[in-house]
Chains A and B, each alone.
Chain A
Amino acid sequence: EDQVTQSPEALRLQEGESSSLNCSYTVSGLRGLFWYRQDPGKGPEFLFTLYSAGEEKEKERLKATLTKKESFLHITAPKPEDSATYLCAVTSSNTGKLIFGQGTTLQVKP
């Protein structure tokens, strides 16, 4: 069964303290791995799509990487405005549906 697990569930950082979020997945034929940011009461906002192991993408203070079993979202020198829930999801070659993890809630304190 296709499955996504994110860790940690919650993460508190001081402003400027870099860290990484983990997304482990099992899927029958990965089509794509997605990272989204979600603010309270709002819909997920697209960050990155990764398609193959070894691929990396960057956007401002965020960098996403992909291996055959997991993905990392690295946050460099975070700011309070980076506080949000970060969701990881995959799609398989069999279906187009997104399978989400439970998310990591990040809080960055000034």
Chain B
Amino acid sequence: ETGVTQSPTHLIKTRGQQVTLRCSSQSGHNTVSWYQQALGQGPQFIFQYYREEENGRGNFPPRFSGLQFPNYSSELNVNALELDDSALYLCASSRSQGYGYTFGSGTRLTVV
């Protein structure tokens, strides 16, 4: 059983640019959610997708958007990058909402 894989592992972008982060869910999982983790803080919920539909969103601006594909893989897109967007971005998948989330290793995004 494969786990959750994220790519790339590290990324450096310039303020104002756009970035796409990718996630492959664990086999059999139909729910995927994304989290932002600043240094020394707990992860903060960005949004969640269930069967390709967004069904929950945290306190993040619209420039944070996402997609879930029929194979349950997912993308996180961030437009107009700001310095404060520098963080570890985590993807998590689950068989069912609210139960048993498996996390990927994350993408470390640095905005300069």
Please name all residues of chain B whose beta carbon is closer than 8 Å to the beta carbon of A32 when the two chains form the complex: 98-99
Give the contact-size bracket for chain A: 20 to 34
Main secondary structure of the interface of B (DSSP, over half): strand
A46 touches B33 (CB 8 A): no
**Interface residues in B, total, Cβ within 8 A:** 31
Interface residues of B (CB under 8 A from A): 4, 6, 31, 33, 35, 40-45, 48, 50, 55-56, 58, 88, 90, 92, 94, 97-106, 108
Please name all residues of chain A whose beta carbon is closer than 8 Å to the beta carbon of B48 when the two chains form the complex: 96-97
Please name all residues of chain B whose beta carbon is closer than 8 Å to the beta carbon of A72 when the two chains form the complex: none
Number of A-B contacts (CB under 8 A): 73
Given contacts A41-B106, A102-B42, 7 further A-B contacts (CB under 8 A): A31-B98, A46-B102, A93-B98, A96-B33, A96-B48, A100-B44, A102-B41
A97 touches B45 (CB 8 A): yes
Q: Given known contacts A98-B33, A98-B43, A100-B43, is B104 in contact with A91 (CB within 8 Å)?
A: no
CB contact list, A53-104 vs B, under 8 A: 87, 89, 91-93, 95-103
B100 touches A49 (CB 8 A): yes
Interface residues of A (CB under 8 A from B): 4, 6, 31-32, 34, 36, 41-46, 49, 87, 89, 91-93, 95-103
